[in-house]
Amino acid sequence: MSETKAFQEYYPDDASHCYGCGRNNPHGHRLRSFWDGGTTVARFTPEPYHTAIPGYVYGGLIASLIDCHGTGSAAAAAYRAENREMGSAPALRFVTASLQVDYLAPTPLGPELELRGSIAEATPRKAIVEITLSAAGAVTARGRVVAVRMPESMARPAAG
Amino acid sequence: MSETKAFQEYYPDDASHCYGCGRNNPHGHRLRSFWDGGTTVARFTPEPYHTAIPGYVYGGLIASLIDCHGTGSAAAAAYRAENREMGSAPALRFVTASLQVDYLAPTPLGPELELRGSIAEATPRKAIVEITLSAAGAVTARGRVVAVRMPESMARPAAG
Protein backbone atom coordinates (compact mmCIF):
# COMPACT_ATOMS: atom_id res chain seq x y z
CA MET A 1 0.00 0.00 0.00
CA SER A 2 1.34 3.41 -0.96
CA GLU A 3 0.90 5.77 1.99
CA THR A 4 2.87 8.65 0.57
CA LYS A 5 0.11 11.24 0.42
CA ALA A 6 -3.55 10.91 1.32
CA PHE A 7 -6.36 11.78 -1.12
CA GLN A 8 -7.41 14.59 1.19
CA GLU A 9 -3.95 16.13 1.09
CA TYR A 10 -4.49 16.91 -2.59
CA TYR A 11 -7.61 18.97 -1.86
CA PRO A 12 -7.14 22.70 -2.45
CA ASP A 13 -6.51 24.70 0.75
CA ASP A 14 -9.96 26.28 0.66
CA ALA A 15 -11.57 22.82 0.51
CA SER A 16 -9.55 21.44 3.43
CA HIS A 17 -11.56 22.60 6.43
CA CYS A 18 -13.91 19.61 6.63
CA TYR A 19 -14.46 18.43 10.20
CA GLY A 20 -14.15 14.84 9.00
CA CYS A 21 -11.09 15.02 6.83
CA GLY A 22 -9.71 18.54 6.44
CA ARG A 23 -6.05 19.02 7.24
CA ASN A 24 -6.86 22.65 8.11
CA ASN A 25 -9.48 21.79 10.77
CA PRO A 26 -7.70 21.43 14.11
CA HIS A 27 -10.90 20.21 15.85
CA GLY A 28 -11.75 17.46 13.38
CA HIS A 29 -10.97 13.84 12.61
CA ARG A 30 -8.45 14.47 9.81
CA LEU A 31 -9.28 11.18 8.13
CA ARG A 32 -6.70 10.14 5.53
CA SER A 33 -7.58 7.81 2.64
CA PHE A 34 -5.28 5.93 0.28
CA TRP A 35 -5.31 3.54 -2.63
CA ASP A 36 -4.51 -0.07 -1.87
CA GLY A 37 -4.50 -1.53 -5.36
CA GLY A 38 -8.01 -1.16 -6.74
CA THR A 39 -9.65 -0.43 -3.40
CA THR A 40 -9.31 2.48 -1.01
CA VAL A 41 -8.39 2.30 2.65
CA ALA A 42 -8.43 4.57 5.68
CA ARG A 43 -7.72 3.89 9.32
CA PHE A 44 -8.94 5.74 12.37
CA THR A 45 -8.72 5.15 16.09
CA PRO A 46 -11.69 6.66 17.94
CA GLU A 47 -11.21 8.64 21.13
CA PRO A 48 -12.61 7.21 24.37
CA TYR A 49 -15.43 9.78 24.27
CA HIS A 50 -16.60 8.65 20.80
CA THR A 51 -18.92 6.25 22.55
CA ALA A 52 -22.55 5.22 22.16
CA ILE A 53 -23.37 2.70 24.84
CA PRO A 54 -20.18 2.37 26.94
CA GLY A 55 -17.75 0.01 25.21
CA TYR A 56 -18.99 0.69 21.70
CA VAL A 57 -18.34 3.28 18.99
CA TYR A 58 -20.90 6.01 18.44
CA GLY A 59 -22.81 5.38 15.19
CA GLY A 60 -22.55 9.00 14.12
CA LEU A 61 -18.77 8.70 14.01
CA ILE A 62 -19.06 5.59 11.88
CA ALA A 63 -21.38 7.44 9.48
CA SER A 64 -18.98 10.38 9.40
CA LEU A 65 -15.95 8.25 8.59
CA ILE A 66 -17.83 6.41 5.86
CA ASP A 67 -18.99 9.74 4.43
CA CYS A 68 -15.51 11.28 4.23
CA HIS A 69 -13.84 8.11 3.03
CA GLY A 70 -16.56 7.92 0.37
CA THR A 71 -16.13 11.44 -0.99
CA GLY A 72 -12.35 11.10 -0.88
CA SER A 73 -12.52 7.79 -2.74
CA ALA A 74 -14.91 9.35 -5.26
CA ALA A 75 -12.43 12.12 -6.03
CA ALA A 76 -9.55 9.67 -6.32
CA ALA A 77 -11.58 7.43 -8.63
CA ALA A 78 -12.55 10.37 -10.83
CA TYR A 79 -8.89 11.29 -11.34
CA ARG A 80 -8.07 7.66 -12.11
CA ALA A 81 -10.94 7.46 -14.60
CA GLU A 82 -9.44 10.44 -16.43
CA ASN A 83 -5.90 9.09 -16.15
CA ARG A 84 -4.91 12.19 -14.24
CA GLU A 85 -2.68 12.68 -11.24
CA MET A 86 -4.51 13.78 -8.10
CA GLY A 87 -3.87 17.44 -7.51
CA SER A 88 -3.72 18.34 -11.21
CA ALA A 89 -6.05 21.12 -12.34
CA PRO A 90 -8.97 21.44 -12.59
CA ALA A 91 -9.61 20.08 -9.08
CA LEU A 92 -12.17 17.28 -8.82
CA ARG A 93 -13.97 17.58 -5.51
CA PHE A 94 -17.06 15.58 -4.56
CA VAL A 95 -19.84 16.10 -2.05
CA THR A 96 -22.28 13.56 -0.68
CA ALA A 97 -25.67 13.27 -2.30
CA SER A 98 -26.74 10.29 -0.21
CA LEU A 99 -25.31 8.16 2.53
CA GLN A 100 -26.54 4.73 3.60
CA VAL A 101 -25.09 2.95 6.62
CA ASP A 102 -26.06 -0.51 7.83
CA TYR A 103 -24.89 -1.26 11.35
CA LEU A 104 -24.31 -5.01 11.27
CA ALA A 105 -22.96 -5.45 14.77
CA PRO A 106 -21.86 -3.22 17.64
CA THR A 107 -18.39 -1.77 16.92
CA PRO A 108 -16.07 -2.20 19.90
CA LEU A 109 -14.45 1.01 21.13
CA GLY A 110 -10.71 0.71 21.43
CA PRO A 111 -9.26 -0.97 18.33
CA GLU A 112 -8.23 0.97 15.25
CA LEU A 113 -11.02 0.96 12.67
CA GLU A 114 -10.36 0.12 9.04
CA LEU A 115 -12.47 1.43 6.18
CA ARG A 116 -12.25 -0.19 2.76
CA GLY A 117 -13.89 1.31 -0.28
CA SER A 118 -14.80 -0.25 -3.61
CA ILE A 119 -15.67 1.99 -6.52
CA ALA A 120 -19.01 0.77 -7.85
CA GLU A 121 -19.38 3.60 -10.33
CA ALA A 122 -17.20 6.54 -11.37
CA THR A 123 -18.04 9.21 -13.89
CA PRO A 124 -16.82 12.81 -14.03
CA ARG A 125 -20.03 13.93 -12.30
CA LYS A 126 -20.94 11.07 -9.97
CA ALA A 127 -19.40 8.20 -8.10
CA ILE A 128 -20.78 5.41 -5.95
CA VAL A 129 -18.50 3.96 -3.31
CA GLU A 130 -19.29 0.83 -1.28
CA ILE A 131 -17.49 0.80 2.06
CA THR A 132 -16.94 -1.69 4.85
CA LEU A 133 -15.84 -0.69 8.32
CA SER A 134 -14.12 -3.25 10.47
CA ALA A 135 -12.71 -3.46 13.97
CA ALA A 136 -10.26 -6.12 15.05
CA GLY A 137 -10.78 -7.92 11.74
CA ALA A 138 -14.58 -8.13 11.88
CA VAL A 139 -16.82 -6.07 9.60
CA THR A 140 -19.30 -4.23 11.81
CA ALA A 141 -20.80 -1.72 9.35
CA ARG A 142 -21.37 -1.32 5.64
CA GLY A 143 -21.89 1.97 3.85
CA ARG A 144 -22.79 3.28 0.44
CA VAL A 145 -21.94 6.82 -0.57
CA VAL A 146 -23.36 8.45 -3.67
CA ALA A 147 -21.07 11.40 -4.31
CA VAL A 148 -21.55 14.11 -6.88
CA ARG A 149 -19.15 16.66 -8.28
CA MET A 150 -19.17 19.72 -6.05
CA PRO A 151 -21.26 22.50 -7.54
CA GLU A 152 -19.17 25.56 -8.42
CA SER A 153 -21.56 27.66 -6.35
CA MET A 154 -20.45 25.87 -3.17
CA ALA A 155 -16.96 27.27 -3.49
CA ARG A 156 -18.37 30.76 -3.02
CA PRO A 157 -20.79 30.37 -0.11
CA ALA A 158 -23.31 33.02 0.78
CA ALA A 159 -22.91 32.19 4.48
CA GLY A 160 -19.75 31.79 6.52
CA MET B 1 -44.46 22.11 22.45
CA SER B 2 -43.64 20.60 25.80
CA GLU B 3 -39.94 21.15 26.50
CA THR B 4 -39.99 20.00 30.09
CA LYS B 5 -37.71 17.00 29.74
CA ALA B 6 -36.01 15.61 26.64
CA PHE B 7 -36.36 11.96 25.56
CA GLN B 8 -32.67 11.48 26.21
CA GLU B 9 -33.01 12.68 29.80
CA TYR B 10 -35.10 9.61 30.53
CA TYR B 11 -32.32 7.25 29.44
CA PRO B 12 -30.74 5.34 32.33
CA ASP B 13 -27.43 6.78 33.54
CA ASP B 14 -25.42 3.93 32.03
CA ALA B 15 -26.98 4.61 28.62
CA SER B 16 -26.30 8.35 28.70
CA HIS B 17 -22.74 8.55 27.46
CA CYS B 18 -23.53 8.77 23.75
CA TYR B 19 -21.39 11.35 21.95
CA GLY B 20 -24.45 12.52 20.04
CA CYS B 21 -27.00 12.80 22.81
CA GLY B 22 -25.69 11.62 26.17
CA ARG B 23 -26.06 14.04 29.05
CA ASN B 24 -23.04 12.35 30.66
CA ASN B 25 -20.69 12.97 27.71
CA PRO B 26 -19.01 16.35 28.23
CA HIS B 27 -17.36 16.21 24.76
CA GLY B 28 -20.50 15.46 22.76
CA HIS B 29 -23.44 17.19 21.13
CA ARG B 30 -26.00 16.53 23.89
CA LEU B 31 -28.87 16.56 21.42
CA ARG B 32 -32.29 16.88 23.10
CA SER B 33 -35.48 15.64 21.42
CA PHE B 34 -39.10 16.36 22.31
CA TRP B 35 -42.65 15.61 21.23
CA ASP B 36 -44.45 18.35 19.35
CA GLY B 37 -47.87 16.79 18.99
CA GLY B 38 -47.49 13.68 16.87
CA THR B 39 -44.03 14.54 15.56
CA THR B 40 -40.69 14.86 17.31
CA VAL B 41 -38.40 17.86 17.24
CA ALA B 42 -34.82 18.69 18.17
CA ARG B 43 -32.77 21.82 17.63
CA PHE B 44 -29.02 22.17 17.40
CA THR B 45 -26.68 25.00 16.54
CA PRO B 46 -23.43 23.74 15.02
CA GLU B 47 -20.08 25.11 16.11
CA PRO B 48 -18.04 27.11 13.58
CA TYR B 49 -15.66 24.17 13.17
CA HIS B 50 -18.49 21.76 12.17
CA THR B 51 -17.81 22.73 8.60
CA ALA B 52 -17.48 20.87 5.30
CA ILE B 53 -16.69 23.40 2.61
CA PRO B 54 -16.41 26.77 4.40
CA GLY B 55 -19.88 28.22 4.96
CA TYR B 56 -21.67 24.86 5.08
CA VAL B 57 -22.37 22.23 7.71
CA TYR B 58 -20.32 19.03 7.70
CA GLY B 59 -22.44 16.13 6.43
CA GLY B 60 -21.22 13.80 9.15
CA LEU B 61 -22.75 16.07 11.78
CA ILE B 62 -26.04 16.05 9.90
CA ALA B 63 -25.96 12.24 9.80
CA SER B 64 -25.12 12.13 13.51
CA LEU B 65 -27.98 14.43 14.51
CA ILE B 66 -30.44 12.45 12.38
CA ASP B 67 -29.17 9.23 13.94
CA CYS B 68 -29.60 10.36 17.55
CA HIS B 69 -32.90 12.10 16.93
CA GLY B 70 -34.05 8.89 15.26
CA THR B 71 -33.16 6.54 18.09
CA GLY B 72 -34.56 8.97 20.65
CA SER B 73 -37.79 9.28 18.69
CA ALA B 74 -37.95 5.49 18.37
CA ALA B 75 -37.75 5.08 22.14
CA ALA B 76 -40.37 7.77 22.73
CA ALA B 77 -42.69 6.18 20.17
CA ALA B 78 -42.27 2.75 21.74
CA TYR B 79 -43.36 4.10 25.13
CA ARG B 80 -46.32 5.85 23.51
CA ALA B 81 -47.32 2.66 21.70
CA GLU B 82 -47.44 0.90 25.06
CA ASN B 83 -49.21 3.81 26.75
CA ARG B 84 -46.33 4.11 29.16
CA GLU B 85 -44.57 7.11 30.62
CA MET B 86 -40.99 7.53 29.45
CA GLY B 87 -38.65 6.52 32.21
CA SER B 88 -40.92 3.77 33.53
CA ALA B 89 -39.35 0.32 33.81
CA PRO B 90 -38.37 -1.67 31.90
CA ALA B 91 -36.34 0.87 29.95
CA LEU B 92 -36.90 0.89 26.18
CA ARG B 93 -33.66 1.86 24.46
CA PHE B 94 -33.09 1.65 20.73
CA VAL B 95 -29.99 1.40 18.57
CA THR B 96 -29.63 2.12 14.87
CA ALA B 97 -29.84 -0.77 12.44
CA SER B 98 -29.66 1.43 9.37
CA LEU B 99 -29.36 5.09 8.56
CA GLN B 100 -30.14 6.74 5.24
CA VAL B 101 -29.44 10.41 4.64
CA ASP B 102 -30.22 12.33 1.45
CA TYR B 103 -28.46 15.66 1.22
CA LEU B 104 -30.89 17.79 -0.77
CA ALA B 105 -29.01 21.07 -0.66
CA PRO B 106 -25.97 22.48 1.12
CA THR B 107 -26.82 23.32 4.75
CA PRO B 108 -25.66 26.82 5.68
CA LEU B 109 -23.41 26.97 8.75
CA GLY B 110 -24.64 29.51 11.27
CA PRO B 111 -28.40 29.15 11.79
CA GLU B 112 -29.90 26.81 14.34
CA LEU B 113 -30.86 23.50 12.71
CA GLU B 114 -34.26 21.94 13.27
CA LEU B 115 -34.90 18.20 13.05
CA ARG B 116 -38.45 16.91 12.75
CA GLY B 117 -39.28 13.24 13.04
CA SER B 118 -42.34 11.32 11.93
CA ILE B 119 -42.91 7.83 13.26
CA ALA B 120 -43.46 5.63 10.21
CA GLU B 121 -43.54 2.40 12.21
CA ALA B 122 -43.31 1.57 15.90
CA THR B 123 -43.36 -1.87 17.45
CA PRO B 124 -41.79 -3.02 20.72
CA ARG B 125 -38.78 -4.33 18.78
CA LYS B 126 -38.40 -1.93 15.84
CA ALA B 127 -39.20 1.59 14.79
CA ILE B 128 -38.76 3.55 11.58
CA VAL B 129 -38.43 7.30 11.87
CA GLU B 130 -38.47 9.69 8.90
CA ILE B 131 -36.62 12.91 9.64
CA THR B 132 -36.20 16.27 7.95
CA LEU B 133 -33.42 18.67 8.81
CA SER B 134 -33.91 22.33 8.06
CA ALA B 135 -31.91 25.52 8.36
CA ALA B 136 -33.48 28.96 8.25
CA GLY B 137 -36.80 27.38 7.28
CA ALA B 138 -35.54 25.36 4.30
CA VAL B 139 -35.28 21.57 4.36
CA THR B 140 -31.72 20.66 3.35
CA ALA B 141 -31.57 16.97 4.30
CA ARG B 142 -33.89 14.02 4.77
CA GLY B 143 -33.13 10.97 6.83
CA ARG B 144 -34.58 7.58 7.61
CA VAL B 145 -33.57 5.68 10.71
CA VAL B 146 -34.43 2.04 11.26
CA ALA B 147 -33.98 1.52 14.98
CA VAL B 148 -34.14 -1.76 16.83
CA ARG B 149 -34.51 -2.53 20.51
CA MET B 150 -31.08 -2.57 22.11
CA PRO B 151 -29.85 -6.13 22.64
CA GLU B 152 -29.47 -6.96 26.32
CA SER B 153 -25.89 -8.03 25.58
CA MET B 154 -24.95 -4.44 24.69
CA ALA B 155 -25.57 -3.27 28.23
CA ARG B 156 -22.75 -5.49 29.41
CA PRO B 157 -20.00 -4.87 26.88
CA ALA B 158 -16.97 -7.08 26.63
CA ALA B 159 -14.81 -4.07 25.73
CA GLY B 160 -14.56 -0.72 27.45
Which chain A residues have a beta carbon less than 8 Å from that of B155? Answer: 53
Across the interface, whether the CB atoms of B52 and A95 are under 8 A apart is answered yes
Question: For the segment A54-74, what is each residue's pLDDT rounded down to a tens digit?
Answer: 999 999 999 999 999 999 999
Across the interface, whether the CB atoms of B108 and A25 are under 8 A apart is answered no
Whole-number pLDDT of residue A160: 35
Which residues in chain A (52-71) have CB-CB distances under 8 A to chain B?
A: 52-56, 58-61, 63-65, 67-68
Q: First and final CA of chain B: distance in angstroms? A: 38
What does pLDDT average to over chain A? 91
Report cis status (omega within 30 of 0) of the bond before A106.
no
What are the contacts of A3-6 at 24+ separation with CB within 8 A? Answer: A3/A34, A6/A32, A6/A33, A6/A34, A6/A72
Q: Is the pLDDT of residue B160 over 60?
A: no
Q: Which of A25, A56, A96 sits opposite B103 (nearest CB)?
A: A96
Across the interface, whether the CB atoms of B99 and A101 are under 8 A apart is answered yes
Q: Identify which of B158, B10, B148 has the alpha carbon closest to the alpha carbon of residue B88.
A: B10
Helix (H) or strand (E) run with residue B59 in it? helix B59-81
Residue B18 CB-density burial (10 A; 0-12 exposed, 13-18 middle, 19+ buried)? buried
**Portion of chain A with pLDDT greater than 70, in percent:** 94
The single-letter code of the amino acid at B120 is A
Q: Which of B19, B108, B159 sits opposite A61 (nearest CB)?
A: B19
> What does the DSSP assignment read for B147-160?
EEEPPGGGGS-S--
**Portion of chain B with pLDDT greater than 70, in percent:** 94
Whole-number pLDDT of residue A128: 98
Q: Is the pLDDT of residue B1 over 70?
A: no
Whole-number pLDDT of residue B71: 96
Q: To the nearest whole angstrom, how far is the Cα of B27 from the nearest Cα of chain A? A: 7
Q: Is the pLDDT of residue A156 over 70?
A: no
What does pLDDT average to over chain B? 91
